[in-house]
């Protein structure tokens, strides 16, 4: 039986990034869809007797969408990893003690919901490749129990396990014990490149739905062979499902593309026919101007992860330039937020502030609050395959909505001259989220998740993460320490092979003065 319509009332309603705010507005939800949007008094009259939620003190917005994540309830920092440069830091993840997947993902989902996220992308990195079916099942069940939408993309990699380059030669620099630990063959039945397409195709057949979109997650072109990437592309087209990968996250990935293929990784992906509207590239910090043109022309999406890029020292992606060239750029938190807490509102704020570099001209163009809001709503909805069903509050849209305590956000006074979305990005935090509705169902009320027990999940994760390590795990730790030490040596001097011409200016190391007004030195800019 269909549920009765109910009405959400707010002092301000912002239906979408390109719609003006409605003072004393309301949204009517019927079943799992938005039925009406407009002035509160008008809708209250039309839907007399409908249950009413909210009040004058609230701001009502479409559900926020996380365009890129890994479903980590316990963050890498909480598990003992200190942020550092990507190519050395990522090796340390091999040290992590395994966690119960259901609890880890469910806690992550709860944290996302509490910050107003109603849909998320999950790129799943296996803890135990031999138990991949159970891990996928547990992760998908965790999102379902939490009541959040997910695009679930199992990850895979089949080359360059340690460094970008000749891994066999690199292994010779390691001790015999370390080589033995790091090169142990996978257990029979493990998820590998040869059975990856079948595994994801089966997962798609079993679980693909409006609440769970199943796709492919090849980790990156430097970690996947051409043959694997093309097999994934063909399978995704056959199934009509998305592909989410990573590329140009670091300068070392840029150099690897030029060294291995004689072109950037974006140009390489275009050359082999991999790019397209169903493909999304995470990070994309180091694209050339030609790369940006390729991304725009092929309609390939990009997700920007500002805090993660800062934490693992990738750099700052040229988001404003990509947007100007028509690239679809969304926003993702990549399980590495500024407060280590999955607060998507804070991530929007970091994005907003990071792309306002010191200007060489007064009032020069920069990323606006509404452009950032679009990245975290409508653009991400498109990147996750939902089109205009999500990211907007319009009749017919799926009923994913967020009520925020605007009164507390603006206390003691904020001039009403400001757009509510500017207020959200200047003063908002996840703690201001009051009510979250996903698919027409209330999943967060008064800031509390109703669907899963966060404290119980946390206790189970703490127990798993704090147990003593077995001897084989201690041996792996020692091997990883040696691996990281040798990897740092391997990459030493790589960055001297390329010249750097930045998209924006943050400071200058020389006076640069020219009496005739012409640029001095190399004339950058």
pLDDT at 2: 59
Q: Per-residue confidence at 95, pLDDT binned at 50, 70, 90?
A: very high
CA angle (173, 174, 180) in 5-degree steps: 140
In a domain, 467, yes or no: no
Q: Say yes or no to pLDDT of 269 above 90.
A: yes
Pick from 72, 49, 118, 47: nearest CA to 377: 118
Are 111 and 226 in a shared domain? yes
In a domain, 207, yes or no: yes
Which DSSP string corresponds to 151-198? EEEEEE--S-SSSSS-HHHHHTTS-HHHHHHHTPPPPTT---HHHHHH
Give me the mean pLDDT over the 87-91 stretch.
95
In a domain, 521, yes or no: no
pLDDT digits (tens, 9 = 90+) for 180-198: 999 999 999 999 999 999 9
pLDDT digits (tens, 9 = 90+) for 295-318: 999 999 999 999 999 999 999 999
Q: Say yes or no to pLDDT of 390 above 60.
A: yes
In a domain, 187, yes or no: yes
Output the six-digit token pair for 416.
């009403």
**What whole-number distance in Å separates Cα of residue 297 and Cα of residue 15?**
30
Are 184 and 324 in a shared domain? yes
Give me the mean pLDDT over the 217-238 stretch.
98
Q: How far is CA 319 from CA 15, 245, 251, 324, 465, in A?
A: 24, 18, 16, 9, 37
pLDDT at 360: 84
Q: Say yes or no to pLDDT of 287 above 70.
A: yes
In a domain, 480, yes or no: no
Q: How far is CA 450 from CA 9, 24, 117, 344, 463, in A?
A: 21, 27, 15, 19, 24
pLDDT digits (tens, 9 = 90+) for 16-65: 999 999 999 999 999 999 999 999 999 999 999 999 999 999 999 999 99
Number of domains present in the structure of the chain: 2
pLDDT at 523: 41
Backbone phi, then psi, for 248, in 5-degree steps?
50, 40
- How high does pLDDT run on average in the chain? 96
Are 36 and 112 in a shared domain? no
Give me the mean pLDDT over the 447-454 stretch.
98
Are 399 and 272 in a shared domain? no
**What whole-number distance in Å separates Cα of residue 293 and Cα of residue 326?**
9
CA 461 remoteness from chain centre: 23
Instruction: Assign residue 277 the CATH number of its domain.
Output: 3.20.20.140
Are 109 and 146 in contact, with CB atoms under 8 Å apart? yes
Q: Per-residue confidence at 520, pLDDT binned at 50, 70, 90?
A: low
Give me the mean pLDDT over the 246-270 stretch.
97
Give me the mean pLDDT over the 496-523 stretch.
80
Pairing of strands 64-66, 433-438: unpaired
Are 356 and 505 in contact, with CB atoms under 8 Å apart? no
Instruction: Assign residue 410 the CATH number of its domain.
Output: 2.30.40.10
**What whole-number distance in Å separates Cα of residue 53 and Cα of residue 229?**
48
Query: 440, 461, 482: which is the final residue of a domain?
Result: 461
In a domain, 490, yes or no: no
CA 39 remoteness from chain centre: 34
Are 136 and 270 in a shared domain? yes
**What whole-number distance in Å separates Cα of residue 148 and Cα of residue 456?**
19
Q: How far is CA 273 from CA 71, 268, 277, 288, 307, in A?
A: 30, 9, 12, 19, 31
Q: Say yes or no to pLDDT of 424 above 60.
A: yes
Share above pLDDT 70 across residues of the chain, in percent, rounded to a whole number: 98
Query: 435, 461, 487: which is the final residue of a domain?
Result: 461
Helix axes 101-114, 454-465, angle to 10 degrees: 130
In a domain, 510, yes or no: no
Output the six-digit token pair for 450.
């109703």
Q: Per-residue confidence at 519, pLDDT binned at 50, 70, 90?
A: low
Three-state DSSP class for 279?
strand
- Looking at the DSSP bridge assignments, the partners of residue 121 are 151
Are 57 and 68 in a shared domain? no
pLDDT at 524: 41
Are 48 and 90 in a shared domain? no
* Domain housing 4: 1-62+395-452
Are 267 and 348 in a shared domain? yes
Are 429 and 416 in a shared domain? yes
Are 227 and 114 in a shared domain? yes
In a domain, 495, yes or no: no
Q: What is the pTM of this model?
A: 0.96
Q: Say yes or no to pLDDT of 372 above 90.
A: yes
Q: Per-residue confidence at 525, pLDDT binned at 50, 70, 90?
A: very low
Are 143 and 233 in a shared domain? yes
**What whole-number distance in Å separates Cα of residue 68 and Cα of residue 302?**
10
Are 186 and 206 in a shared domain? yes
């Amino acid at each position: 039986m269909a549920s009765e319509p109910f009405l959400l009332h707010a002092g301000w309603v912002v239906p979408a990034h390109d719609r003006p705010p409605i003072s004393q507005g309301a949204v009517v939800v019927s079943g799992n869809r938005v039925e009406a949007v407009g002035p509160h008094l008008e809708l209250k009259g039309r839907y007399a007797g409908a249950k009413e939620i909210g009040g004058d003190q609230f701001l009502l917005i479409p559900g926020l969408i996380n365009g890129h994540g890994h479903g980590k309830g316990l963050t890498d920092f909480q598990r003992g990893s200190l942020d550092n440069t990507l190519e050395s830091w990522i090796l340390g993840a091999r040290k992590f003690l395994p966690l119960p997947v259901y609890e880890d993902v469910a806690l992550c989902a709860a944290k996302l919901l509490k910050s107003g996220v109603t849909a998320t992308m999950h790129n799943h990195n296996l803890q135990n490749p031999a138990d991949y079916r159970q891990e996928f099942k547990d992760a998908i069940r965790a999102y379902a129990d939490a009541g959040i939408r997910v695009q679930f993309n199992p990850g895979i990699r089949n080359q360059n396990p340690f460094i970008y380059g000749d891994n066999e030669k690199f292994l010779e620099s390691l001790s015999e014990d370390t080589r033995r630990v790091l090169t142990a063959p996978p257990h029979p039945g493990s998820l590998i490149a040869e059975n990856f397409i079948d595994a994801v195709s089966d997962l798609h057949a079993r679980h693909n739905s409006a609440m769970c979109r199943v796709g492919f997650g090849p980790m990156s072109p430097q970690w996947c062979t051409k043959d694997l990437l093309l097999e994934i592309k063909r399978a995704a087209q056959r199934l009509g499902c998305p592909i989410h990968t990573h590329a140009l996250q670091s300068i070392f990935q840029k150099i690897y593309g030029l060294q291995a293929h004689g072109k950037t990784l974006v140009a390489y992906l275009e050359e082999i026919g991999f790019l397209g509207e169903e493909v999304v590239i995470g990070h994309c910090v180091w694209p050339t101007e030609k790369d940006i043109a390729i991304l725009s022309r092929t309609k390939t999406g990009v997700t920007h992860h500002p805090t993660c890029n800062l934490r693992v020292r990738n750099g700052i992606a040229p988001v404003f330039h990509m947007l100007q060239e028509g690239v679809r750029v969304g926003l993702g938190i990549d399980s590495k937020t500024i407060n280590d807490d999955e607060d998507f509102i804070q991530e929007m704020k970091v994005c907003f502030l990071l792309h306002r570099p010191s200007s060489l001209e007064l009032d020069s163009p920069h990323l606006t609050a509404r452009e950032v809001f679009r990245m975290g709503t409508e653009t991400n909805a498109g990147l996750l395959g939902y089109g205009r069903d999500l990211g907007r509050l319009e009749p017919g849209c799926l009923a994913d909505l967020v009520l925020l305590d605007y009164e507390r956000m603006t206390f003691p006074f904020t001039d009403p001259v400001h757009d509510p979305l500017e207020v959200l990005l200047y003063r908002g935090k996840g703690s201001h989220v009051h009510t979250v509705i996903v698919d027409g169902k209330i999943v967060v009320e008064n800031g509390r998740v109703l669907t899963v027990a966060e404290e119980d999940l946390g206790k189970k994760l703490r127990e798993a993460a704090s147990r003593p390590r077995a001897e084989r795990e201690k041996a792996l730790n020692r091997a990883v320490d040696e691996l990281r030490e040798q990897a740092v040596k391997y990459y030493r001097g790589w960055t001297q092979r390329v010249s750097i011409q930045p998209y924006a200016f943050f400071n200058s190391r020389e006076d640069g003065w020219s009496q005739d007004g012409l640029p001095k030195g190399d004339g950058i800019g």
